[in-house]
Chain A
Amino acid sequence: MNKLTFHYFHLMPWPHLPPDFDENYDSAWVTLPNTFYDPIKGHALYNRYLDEIERADKLGWDSVIVNEHHQNAYGTMPSPNIMAAALTQRVKRARIGIVGNALPLHDDPLRVAEEIAMLDVLSGGRIISGFVRGTGMEYFSYNINPTVSRERMDEAHDLIIQAWTRPGPFAFEGEHYNYRYVNTWPRPIQQPHPPIWLPGTASMETIDFAARHKYPYMTVFMPMNQRKRAYEMYRRVAEEKYGYEAQPDQLAFCTPVILGETDDIAMKEGEKYALWLFDKGLKVRPEFFVPPGYMSERSLKAALEGGGFGQKRTFKELVDTGVVIAGSVDTVIEKLSYYTDVLHANMLVTGGHVGEMPDYLVLKFQEMMAKEVMPHFREKVTQTAERPAEVVS
Chain B
Amino acid sequence: MTADEASSVATSLERPERTIDVRGLPTHMFEAGASSSPPLLYLHGTYLGNLWLDFHRQLTRHFHVFAPDTPGFGLTPRPDWMRDMSDYVLYFRDLLDTLGIEKAALVGHSLGGWMAAELAVWYPERVEKLVLTNSVGIRVKGSPIADLFAMNAQEVMMACFDDFSAAAPLMPAEMNVDYLIGQYRQLTTLASLAWNPSYDPKLERRLARITCPTLIVWGEHDRLIPPIYAEAFQRAIAGSEVVMLSGTGHMPMFEQPQEWSAVIADFLRK
A140 touches B191 (CB 8 A): no
Flag if A143 contacts B150 (CB, 8 Å): no
Contact at B152–A146, with CB atoms within 8 Å? Answer: no
- Is A144 a contact of B150 with CB atoms below 8 Å? no
- A145 adjacent to chain B (CB < 8 Å): yes
Nearest chain B residue, comparing its CB with the CB of A151: B80
Cβ of B151 under 8 Å from chain A: yes
Contact A305 B192 (CB under 8 A): no
In the complex, chain A residues 266-292 whose Cβ is within 8 Å of any chain B Cβ: 285-288, 290-292
Closest Cβ neighbor of B189 among chain A residues: A292
- Determine how close the nearest CB of chain A comes to the CB of B70; give it in whole angstroms: 16
Given contacts A287-B150, A291-B149, A292-B184, contact A145 B195 (CB under 8 A): yes
Quick check: is A293 within 8 A (CB to CB) of the other chain? yes
Q: A304-B180, A304-B181 are in contact. Are A292 and B190 (CB under 8 A)?
A: yes
**Complex Cα–Cα for A140 and B149 (A):** 9
- Is A292 in contact with B181, judged by CB distance below 8 angstroms? no
* A interface SS class: helix
Does any Cβ of A come within 8 Å of B240's Cβ? no
User: Within the assembled complex, what's the spacing in Å between the Cα atoms of A301 and B191?
Assistant: 19
Which one, A146, A286, A288, contacts B191 given CB within 8 A? A146
Q: Chain A, 210-242, contact with B by CB distance < 8 Å: what is the 0/1 string?
A: 000000000000000000000000000000000
**Cβ–Cβ contact B188 & A292, under 8 A:** yes
Main DSSP-derived SS at the B contact region: helix
Contact B196 A287 (CB under 8 A): no
Residues of B near A140 (CB, < 8 A) are: 149-150
B177 at the interface (CB under 8 A from A): yes
Given contacts A287-B152, A293-B191, contact A144 B181 (CB under 8 A): no
Interface check A300, CB cutoff 8 A: yes
Are A305 and B184 in contact (CB-based, < 8 A)? no
Of chain A, the residue at the smallest CB distance from B178 is: A301
A391 to B207 alpha-carbon distance, docked (Å) = 85
* B187 within 8 Å of A (CB atoms): yes
Q: Contact partner of A285 among B150, B180, B185, B191, CB < 8 A?
A: B150
* Alpha-carbon separation in the docked complex, A293 to B80 (Å): 12
Q: Are A297 and B185 in contact (CB under 8 A)?
A: yes
Q: Are A305 and B187 in contact (CB under 8 A)?
A: no
A247 on the B face (CB < 8 A)? no
Interface string of B136-154 (1 = CB under 8 A from A): 0000000000000111100
* Nearest-Cβ distance from residue A96 to partner chain B, whole angstroms: 33
Assess whether A287 is in contact with B151, with CB atoms less than 8 Å apart. yes
Contact string, A164-190, partner B, CB cutoff 8 A, digits 1/0?
000000000000000000000000000
Distance in angstroms between the alpha carbons of A43 and B196 in the assembled complex: 34
CB distance from A225 to the nearest CB of B (A): 19
Task: Confirm or deny: A147 has a beta carbon within 8 angstroms of a beta carbon on chain B.
Answer: yes
Known: A145-B191, A145-B192, A146-B195. 11 other contacts (CB 8 A): A30-B150, A139-B195, A144-B196, A147-B83, A286-B152, A287-B150, A292-B190, A292-B191, A292-B195, A293-B192, A300-B184
Please name the 3 residue pairs, one residue from A and one from B, whose CB atoms are nearest each other, closest first. A292-B191, A292-B187, A292-B188
Residue ranges of A at the interface with B (Cβ–Cβ < 8 Å) = 30, 139-140, 143-148, 285-288, 290-293, 297, 300-301, 304-305
